[in-house]
Amino acid sequence: MEKVKLLGTWSSPFVQRVVWALKLKGIEYEIFYEDFANKSPELLKYNPIHKKVPVLLHNGVAICESLVIIEYIDETWKDTSPFLPHETLDKANARFWAKFGDEQALPAFYDIYKKQGKEQEEAKEKTLANLKLIEQQLNEKNFFNGENIGFLDLAFGWLADYSRPLEVISDVKVLDEESFPKLCAWREKVLAIPAIKESWPDQETLIAKFRKIKESKGQ
Amino acid sequence: MEKVKLLGTWSSPFVQRVVWALKLKGIEYEIFYEDFANKSPELLKYNPIHKKVPVLLHNGVAICESLVIIEYIDETWKDTSPFLPHETLDKANARFWAKFGDEQALPAFYDIYKKQGKEQEEAKEKTLANLKLIEQQLNEKNFFNGENIGFLDLAFGWLADYSRPLEVISDVKVLDEESFPKLCAWREKVLAIPAIKESWPDQETLIAKFRKIKESKGQ
């Protein structure tokens, strides 16, 4: 019997994408919630480099970094719901855009929530440009890889479940239906998937949590 | 007949790792050198998002981001010199450390060359800590993946061929034999591989080039 544990927090989009991956594959797992003010000995032991969540423990062996974990899950449990596309070129494309998401699109989006005034305006402009590029990748497909949810949908998962709460708090709307009809339709499709719907963090609680973080940092 | 082109510069460690990958696999390719003051229409066309090298063109289709390119090369030409380890856990480990290298170890090392005074001292401390972690990964193996050069050796390739020039320019030594005997031995093994030896940028020219960049930025 395989033992799968996840060290996480309920509010991290990086943990959330791993939760989705596990649920989509139908993998039984146990989640342990970390308190960042008081990190668990397990977190310090299994991710000594970054001391961050998510950490996946598979039969006691640790895998860190959310996108690395998702590739690991996909390669280990390959019989159900493949995440990475089959063709090498499509795979490269998915990895390129996942990197773009984490290094460019997500930080800019998060800055809208974190910053004020001119800096917030700049983050908004950057985000609109990024979303335009992401929307083009989606094109006429239901999901980034075609008919089924895959690696890039998980990588862009924060756009589905965190964009609205962050927009509410910052009172800046970027992902609107008129400008990004395909991305908005994609969001609805992602969030309607049962495995995702049941693990989608409650939006009001998420808003309250991120509002509190913002206030505590005096942003 | 497959057509492989590489858009690059002779002095970028990110291009260099792709050159090594192509040569190790024995893939025929043509390299086109970019002038950053005057980027080619090809670069702007094939990497419109980042406008950066390296870009691999395989039968006219572009792949960007050096680590993504290396995985693509490994998956496309799989019969010779596999780069990624076979086991999923080892694969995840290689990807984790490659990410650590690009996001943490390389920027800190580069800061020793770029910065002065207290900031340089901090970059040196960080680098020593990073190198210690990397040395532990190497352990008693010849290469990061064992007996043969692989993905992580390519990802850490900058440590083999750029560390010495950058140390010379900054007059700060970090990768010394006493502190990092395994990494130093690894460097010699990497640089002795014929495919790499023949494409190793000339160290004096590299020093002159990076010294000029530093001076032009008033660092």
Q: Which residue in A56, A57, A60, A80 sits closest to A70, CA to CA? A: A56
Interface test mutation site (partner B, options A56, A66, A67, A72, max chain B beta carbons within 10 A): A72
The pLDDT value given to residue A36 = 86
Q: Do the chains contact at A63 and B92, CB–CB below 8 Å?
A: yes
B78 close contact with A: CB closer than 8 A: no
pLDDT of A197 over the 90 cut: yes
Q: Which candidate from B49, B68, B100 shows the least CB-CB separation from A92?
A: B68
Q: Do A91 and B69 touch (CB under 8 A)?
A: no
A68, A95, A99: residue with CB nearest B92: A68
Distances in whole angstroms, Cα of residue B120 to Cα of each of B102, B107, B205, B218: 19, 12, 24, 15
CA dist., res. B98 & res. B61, Å (int)? 25
DSSP-derived secondary structure for A143-162? BTTBSS--HHHHHTHHHHHT
With a pLDDT cut of 90, the percent of chain B lying above it is 90
DSSP-derived pairing of the beta strands A61-64 and B61-64: unpaired
Contacts B96 to A, Cβ<8 Å: 63-65, 68
Q: Where do the structural domains in chain A lie, given as residue ranges?
A: 4-76, 88-216
Give contacts of A102 with chain B, Cβ < 8 Å: none
Q: What is the pLDDT of residues B62-106, one digit of tens each?
A: 999 999 999 999 999 999 899 999 999 999 999 999 999 999 999
Which chain A residues touch B75 with a CB distance below 8 Å? 88, 91
Per residue in A28-75, pLDDT (tens digit) is 999 999 998 899 999 999 999 999 999 999 999 999 999 999 999 999
CATH class of the domain whose range is A88-216: mainly alpha
Chain A contact present for B49, CB below 8 A: yes
Task: Report the Cα–Cα distance between both ends of chain B, in Å, rounded.
Answer: 47
pLDDT tier at B189 (50, 70, 90 boundaries)? very high
Cβ within 8 Å, pair B95-A63:
no
Kindly tell me if the per-residue pLDDT of B1 is higher than 70.
Answer: no
The Cα angle at residue B52 between residues B107 and B68, in degrees rounded to 5: 75
- Is A72 an 8 Å CB contact of chain B? yes
Phi-psi region of B101 (alpha: psi -120 to 50; beta: other; left: phi over 0): alpha
Which member of B58, B76, B92 has the closest CB to residue A71? B92
Class of domain A4-76 (CATH, top level):
alpha beta
Nearest-angstrom CA–CA distance, A199 and A164: 16
* pLDDT surpassing 70 at residue A219: no
Shortest alpha-carbon distance between residue B49 and chain A (Å): 9
Cβ-nearest to A68 among B64, B71, B96 = B96
Dihedral angle of Cα A146, A150, A156, A158, to the nearest 10 degrees: 130
Residues of A in contact with B88 (CB under 8 A): 72, 75-76
* B95: nearest CA partner in chain A: A68
pLDDT at A202 over 90: no
pLDDT at B219 over 70: no
- Which among B76, B93, B97, B131 is the top mutation candidate for probing chain A, defined by the most A β-carbons within 10 Å of its own β-carbon? B93
Q: How large is the average pLDDT for residues A147-166?
A: 95
Q: How confident is the model at residue A201 (pLDDT cuts 50, 70, 90)?
A: confident
